[in-house]
Amino acid sequence: MDKFVRLEGLVAPLDRANVDTDAIIPKQFLKSIKRSGFGPNLFDEWRYMDIGQPGRDNSQRPRNPNFVLNQPRYQGAQILLTRKNFGCGSSREHAPWALLDFGFHAVIAESFADIFFNNCFKNGILPIVLPAAELDALFAQVEATPGYKLTIDLERQVVVRPDGKALPFDVDAFRKECLINGWDDIGLTLRHADLIKTFEEKRRIAQPWLFA
């Protein structure tokens, strides 16, 4: 996993609540057995005017000019700004994979769905929760300012606006450490392999039916 320490990036606004993972990456692309290549199909049904299929050349497909990510000013965006309950629905990790493959390294929202939130951290994406009033202000600034960038400083736990205002955010200390160091969870857990073995042996005796 790539490290996440500090990010200064162009912001793209997706001004809707309850964006579900089916919208982030539709089901037909879940047939892939790879982790990469989902970026061109991120928000597929909103980005294109036709119905996408896996394995197709997306560069030739008709684009929806009204969809925010198709607007020239948001090309190269690395930070997605959105509303509450982002990533609800299916647990598909293809959703963070698609966001990352497209180029997003952080998502700022009023709230996130639990499974999506968790999946982000496993892929080096930082999901940031900010209060609704701060988001309203950010949406207004993004709309009004072409080339609007934010700086995210994970160590200090702040999002810094171009006008210098710093917006503090919470992040779980353990997850923060993993992101900053690019640590692999599995490697960390396996440091406790002896504890797991001991627990498992006790369990096998106490509740043998679980090990049939």
Partner 1 sequence: MPQTLYDKLWQNHVVHEEADGTALLYIDRHLVHEVTSPQAFEGLKLAGRKPWRVSSVVATADHNTPTNHWDRGIEDEVSRLQVETLDANIREVGALAYFPFKDPRQGIVHVVGPENGATLPGMTVVCGDSHTSTHGAFGCMAHGIGTSEVEHVLATQCLLQKKSKTMLLRVDGKLGKGVTAKDIALAIIGKIGTAGGTGYAIEFGGSAIRSLSMEGRMTLCNMAIEAGARLGFIAVDDVTINYVKGRPFAPKASDWDAAVAYWRTLHSDEGAQFDCVLDLRADDIQPQVTWGTSPEMVVAIDGCVPDPVKEKDPVRREGMERALQYMGLNPNTPIKAIKIDKVFIGSCTNSRIEDLRAAAAVVKGRKVAASVKLALVVPGSGLVKQQAEREGLDKVFIAAGFEWREPGCSMCLAMNADRLEPGERCASTSNRNFEGRQGAGGRTHLVSPEMAAAAAIAGHFADVREII
Applying CB under 8 A, the residues found at the interface with partner 1 are 15-18, 20, 22-23, 26-28, 30-35, 45, 51, 54-55, 83-85, 88-93, 96, 111-115, 118-119, 122-123, 172-174, 185-186, 188-190, 192-193, 195-196, 199-200, 203, 207-212
How many residues make up the chain in this entry?
Answer: 212
For residues 27 and 156, which CB has a smaller minimum distance to partner 1 in the complex? Answer: 27
From the CB of 2, what's the least distance to partner 1, in Å?
A: 14
DSSP string of 154-194, one letter each residue: TTTTEEE-TTS-EEE----HHHHHHHHHT--HHHHHHTTHH
From the CB of 195, what's the least distance to partner 1, in Å?
A: 5
From the CB of 78, what's the least distance to partner 1, in Å?
A: 21
For residues 8 and 172, which CB has a smaller minimum distance to partner 1 in the complex? Answer: 172
Full 3-state SS string of 122-134:
CCCCEEEECCHHH
Q: Residue written as tokens 């892929």?
A: 123
Retrieve residue 72's tokens: 């020239």
Contact in structure between 139 and 84 (CB atoms under 8 Å):
no
**Residues forming a β-bridge with 12:** 80
For residues 10 and 109, which CB has a smaller minimum distance to partner 1 in the complex? Answer: 109
For residues 8 and 185, which CB has a smaller minimum distance to partner 1 in the complex? Answer: 185
From the CB of 161, what's the least distance to partner 1, in Å?
A: 21
